[in-house]
Amino acid sequence: MLTIPLARLEREGTLEIQAAIPPDDPSWDGTELRFSIPLSISGQAQWLTSGEVLVRVSLRGQLAQECRRCLDPVEVAVEEELSLLFVPPGDVSEETEDVRLLPPGAMDLDLGEAIREEVILTQWPYALCRPDCRGLCPRCGANLNEENCQCSSEELDPRWDALRALKEERD
């Protein structure tokens, strides 16, 4: 699925990658990411003459989220282009960023964890149903996109009393 046979990659130079990670895959456990369709992965892995492996993939999918203001369901498109560089353990210094280590002596390269990490880092956790979403009334909970709430604007929140008192002192 997301495993590249390193001996074959070295022999052939390039391998095509086609895979999908289902929404209920255990790799999403603990991430709070809920996919509504499988995450589609396509691209290629390339063996470089230096012994490094360069993986370029496109990720496509749909996340099921809630609007951060009104809590309505929202479908968010996942469309990412990734370049992952895997290097042999002795070829990387500790200051090198954006480089992953090839497991020493491994016959296969598993891309699952690297793709999981990249998806987690690239997704914005605060979806909106629309840019002008009015959200929920903080007093009665009415969805202000669908109705005007009947709360009185004169109902004052007691948490602001100290600030109101300071303002009245200045006036």
pLDDT digits (tens, 9 = 90+) for 106-120: 899 999 999 999 999
* 95: confidence class by pLDDT, cuts 50, 70, 90: low
Residue 152 in this model has a pLDDT that exceeds 80: no
pTM recorded for the entire structure = 0.77
Q: Is residue 8 one of the residues assigned to a domain?
A: yes
Q: List alpha helices for 71-143, DSSP H.
A: 112-122
Note whether residue 157 is domain-resident.
yes
Contact 93, 60 (CB under 8 A): no
The verdict on 109 and 170 lying in the same domain is no
- Is 128 within the bounds of a domain? no
Examine the domain organization and report whether 17 and 99 are in the same domain.
yes
Indicate whether 20 and 53 sit together in one domain.
yes
pLDDT of 1 reads 58
| Domain limits for position 71 | 3-122
Q: What's the pLDDT band for 155 if we cut at 50, 70, 90? A: low
Q: How confident is the model at residue 97 (pLDDT cuts 50, 70, 90)?
A: low
Tell me the average pLDDT across 112-133.
92
127 domain-assigned: no
Residue 106 has what pLDDT?
84
More reliable by pLDDT, 91 or 108: 108
Does residue 109 share a domain with residue 30?
A: yes
The first and second tokens of residue 171, run together, are 């006036």
* pLDDT at position 115: 94
- State the residue for tokens 């496109």: 58
> Looking at the domain assignment, is residue 101 inside a domain?
yes
Number of separate domains in the chain? 2
- Do 117 and 145 belong to one domain? no
Instruction: Tell me the mean pLDDT in the region 43-69.
Output: 94
Is 148 domain-assigned?
yes
* CA–CA dist 134, 148 (Å, integer): 10
- Does residue 91 have a pLDDT over 70? no
